[in-house]
Structure 1
Amino acid sequence: MSPVMGHHDVLVLGGGVAGCVLAARLSEDPARTVCLVEAGPDHGTDPGGWPRSLRDAHALPRDHMWERGVAVHRLRARVLGGSSCVNGCWHTWGSAADHEEWTRAGGPRWSAAAMAPYRERAEAAMRLRPVPEREFSLWARAALAGARELGYPDVDMGAEGPPGCGTPLLNALDGLRWNAAFGYLGPARSRANLTILGDTAADRLVLDGGRITGAEVVRHGRRETLTADTYVLACGTFGSPALLLRSGIGPAAELRARGIRTEVDLPGVGANLSDQPGVFVPRTPAPRLNAALAAREKEGELYVSRMLIRAASTHCPTDGWDLHILPSAGDPLFGGLPPGEYEAGIAAFLMKPASRGRVRLRSADPADPLDIDPGFLTDPDGRDAAVLREGLEIAERLAATSALAPLAAASGAPSYELTDAELRARLGTYWHPVGTCAMGPATDPLAVTDGAGRVHGVPDLRVADASVLPSAPAANTQFPVLAAAELLADALKETAS
């Protein structure tokens, strides 16, 4: 690898899912020097040298996070590979309606047809595969049968199509979580033109006359400045707007209130936060289900969820879907149960929320926690709550099918009868935030980037992660973000060539 310091052609700040893609693809040209900066640790090339919790595809690890003991919507990974190291290993694709929204904002490169090759590249690099038969629990198999009983057709969850039921693609290989650091950086690490800096936190960009002169990072407790011809932010939906704000790029009034000099007044930075809230409906497992789950756990093949339904509410456009109905059974996501007992239930997630939140700074100090308001169910028309209730009704109908009803009993009144206050009190999240550096034309006052990730009004600066998506896809976001990073890497190559 090249020396740590020195000038690079491209500096990628953030080594999560998108950052790994960008560093790998941009360093394919041996004439282009690339430096990847990640705040968390780099555990190296050999999967065997990584912490067991990050390798294990059975669970959702919580030991490589930016914060502990916080509201669940704030959870985000701090490790090379980002969310691919800690999430559910699921890969699903969105609807044609998603691409229509993105094309209106970013141009034809975001159409379904144009993104298909990038989706295929991501599928190959992440070694995505269908769910093996042996990984289906009794609950998951019964849930598939129940979905068909309700009339949902089998569909390919890795492509556009109609509502239906099916299984995700997985970045899990016989229990090993194949994260983006393995899939993308593994083949690239030996390149002399690629530098990877772990345990190096990006603080701010330094601007002079509206142009970037360097990026201040903190490495081994020391503040250093890295320089490049092109700067690319891939710090995620929370981290990328925060870095822009600390650099003086954002809403002028908000920056003044934090004592930060405004370099570029961009009102959309940190706005338009969109995430996918949901409610879990618990069921009481029958002894037969507990015994079956215990047997799977003993065999080392207990996976909490392996199927889902993509469903359309009455508010959804034709041929699209705006709900994920997700049955699960296994160890609780939070807390614990006595040996031989398990949590079972069905969650409904709102995939296309109208509500918007935002990310703000509490101060200019990067060590201060961010002010993150997810804005769940705040749309003035109340559509989000109405759609979520329809999802809960589908979940109740699924639980009552002949396939699932014998395996678990209702734990209370129907969930769709919850009051608004009860609904909000039980909200969880799918952990799929997007939109805080949304792409759009320069004439849009809330647009931060264009369709190639270029930041409006700041030469040589791009954002290339989930934050550029102006709306959430009707999907788990890792697959679309992998493809988006592939797309944005190509866009940068086109400009540089």
Structure 2
Amino acid sequence: MVDVIVIGGGSAGCVAASTYARAGASVLIIEAGPTFAPSTTESWPTDLTNARRMPIGPESPYIDPISARTTGDQHVVATRGRVLGGSGAVNGAYFVRAPLSDFDTWPQDLWNRDTVTRYYNCIETDHDFGRLDHHGSTGPVPVTRAITAPVAQAFLQAGIASGHRHLDDLNAPTAGDGIGAVPSNVRHGRRISMAEAYLSPVADKITIRGRSQVARLLFDGDTVLGVTGRDDDGTFVVHADRVVLAAGAVRTPNLLLHSGIGPAGTLRRVGIPVRQHLPGVGVGVADHPEITIDYQPRRAPDDRGTPLQVVLHSGPIEIRPYTASFDRLIPGLSPMLPAIGVAHMTPDARGTIDVVSDDPFSAPNVEHRYGETEEDRTALSRGIDLATDILRASGLASDIHVPAGIGATTPLGGSLHTMGTARMGFDDDPLAVVDLTGRVRGARGLSVVDASMFPAPVSRGPHATVVMAAQRLVDAAISSH
């Protein structure tokens, strides 16, 4: 028996566990992937700390590969982190804040611009701009910027020469459109995951259970009692006063559904007893669809530094000049050409996450429906034109493989930025799954703190916002008790 169970040791889970532990609660993190002692971060595998590489290849022991339908009948394997630290331990260390205007559609009681800024500040130590009022200088997450790769340097100069505003600080409240260095959770070349940033200082106050998969939540009436699951030793049961879901925006709704919380018709179809009819679980799935422009480089690649050091924001589009080909950035991939990514950061398309059986360990059915609307396709087409023009001006490419155009069946990839699968909202919102502090409707003692609860998608990569929001939610939960 513990005070708090945190399901998922990713970024949101690490924030939640640390904050509850600091408040005096006994905390257990249950993580499906491998774990490492937070008190010995210097001995962690270099795969997880080397900011130049992303260990998400097909043979990686740190991923949760889930097949997802993207466009038409196209399926891709979407990989997420399954390790202590989650996706934030294996990604490109992009730590860009969402524009404050994104939060105007969030419930203003807890999520107005001033509050959001204060919480962004409290999670960071910005080594470039920490002296400014709109940044933090004492938080657990180091934020740095460095443009060291020739690709990034050339693309930045070409973007500026093409008339795009040079942004010194993409995390400034007034950043807007322009091109600049990517803020990263990196210090001295080391990717600082939230496991290191948040758990290391409280390592002696938290219990971590790795390689353990939660099957279902346990209830007494409408009150959560704990969880049941399996590990290498068999089935386990753990009881707690509070259960915090931080399994990510795919696994969190999947766990809710297998626990009988979700659309009643969906649950009955696969034989799961209905505990709470919440039609919003697994609907409204958002991501940032991306298409890449391959090119033949004029010079041999030099991938020093992080995988993405510069981005250009232009309206709904984010252009990503990756510092090298993906096979150099992601161990285990076949050789390929370097590429520029073009991502739609405010797409209209929404997908679903559904269960296919009553087996809690079966993979969910994930559909993204990228490029479903003409508006999304038009925006991506304009982004391709913009990226191609800057790439030509940069002198990086001897040959550019420009996509033929964006149609309803054009293969599109995602950014692995899944959001909004168990969204937050007021009591009169029929699709709201959690309230303004993340508490699941009709389930006492159960809350959600990861990107599942985003009431509307953010228009930047979500990592910094996940950390900020988790801190805000847990602080609100603790203060309400």
Same fold (TM over 0.5): yes
> Does 1:418 pair with 2:421?
no
Contact 1:60/1:87, CA 8 A, preserved across alignment: yes
Contact 2:381/2:406, CA 8 A, preserved across alignment: no
Separation in 2, partners of 1:421, 1:11: 43
Q: Give 1:109 deviation, angstroms.
A: 1.6
Corresponding residue for 1:461? 446
Corresponding residue for 2:9? 15
Q: Name the SS for the 1:330 alignment partner.
A: coil
Contact 2:189/2:305, CA 8 A, preserved across alignment: no
Contact 1:323/1:474, CA 8 A, preserved across alignment: no
Corresponding residue for 2:471? 486
Question: Which letter does structure 2 place at the counterpart of 1:259?
Answer: G
- Equivalent of 2:426 in 437, 441, 446: 441
Corresponding residue for 2:159? 147
- Equivalent of 1:390 in 361, 365, 382: 382
- Equivalent of 1:27 in 10, 21, 27: 21
Corresponding residue for 1:317? none
Corresponding residue for 1:43? 36
Corresponding residue for 1:305? 308
Separation in 1, partners of 2:124, 2:382: 32
- RMSD value, Cα: 2.0
1:359/1:348 CA distance change after superposition, 3 Å: same
Q: Give 1:115 deviation, angstroms.
A: 1.3
Q: Give 1:69 deviation, angstroms.
A: 8.3
Contact 1:73/1:431, CA 8 A, preserved across alignment: no
Shifted more, 343-352 versus 237-246: the winner is 343-352
> Does 1:97 pair with 2:101?
yes
Separation in 2, partners of 1:400, 1:129: 31
Question: Which letter does structure 2 place at the counterpart of 1:393?
Answer: D
> Does 1:174 pair with 2:197?
no
Corresponding residue for 2:134? none
- Equivalent of 2:232 in 217, 220, 229: 220
Contact 1:94/1:160, CA 8 A, preserved across alignment: no
1:421/1:353 CA distance change after superposition, 3 Å: closer
Contact 1:107/1:451, CA 8 A, preserved across alignment: no
Separation in 1, partners of 2:180, 2:450: 27
Corresponding residue for 2:398? 409
Moved over 4 A (4+): 68-73
TM-score by length of 2: 0.89
Corresponding residue for 1:74? 78
| Residue-pair matches, total | 451
Q: Name the SS for the 2:385 alignment partner.
A: helix
> Does 1:208 pair with 2:224?
no
1:183/1:302 CA distance change after superposition, 3 Å: closer
Shifted more, 446-455 versus 365-374: the winner is 365-374
> Does 1:160 pair with 2:163?
no
Unaligned runs of 5+ in 1: 1-5, 313-321
- Equivalent of 1:450 in 435, 441, 459: 435
Report sequence identity in percent.
30
Separation in 2, partners of 1:421, 1:223: 45
Separation in 1, partners of 2:339, 2:456: 28
Cα offsets for 1:77-99 (capped at 9, x unmatched): 11111011110001111123211
> Does 1:400 pair with 2:392?
yes
Question: Which letter does structure 1 place at the counterpart of 2:195?
Answer: A
Q: Name the SS for the 1:343 alignment partner.
A: coil
Separation in 1, partners of 2:94, 2:364: 27
1:358/1:52 CA distance change after superposition, 3 Å: same
1:73/1:165 CA distance change after superposition, 3 Å: farther
Q: Give 1:389 deviation, angstroms.
A: 1.2
> Does 1:330 pair with 2:343?
no
Corresponding residue for 2:275? 263
Separation in 2, partners of 1:336, 1:330: 14
TM-score by length of 1: 0.86
Q: Give 1:27 deviation, angstroms.
A: 0.9
Q: Name the SS for the 1:67 alignment partner.
A: strand
Separation in 1, partners of 2:391, 2:325: 19
Separation in 2, partners of 1:411, 1:89: 27
Shifted more, 391-400 versus 70-79: the winner is 70-79
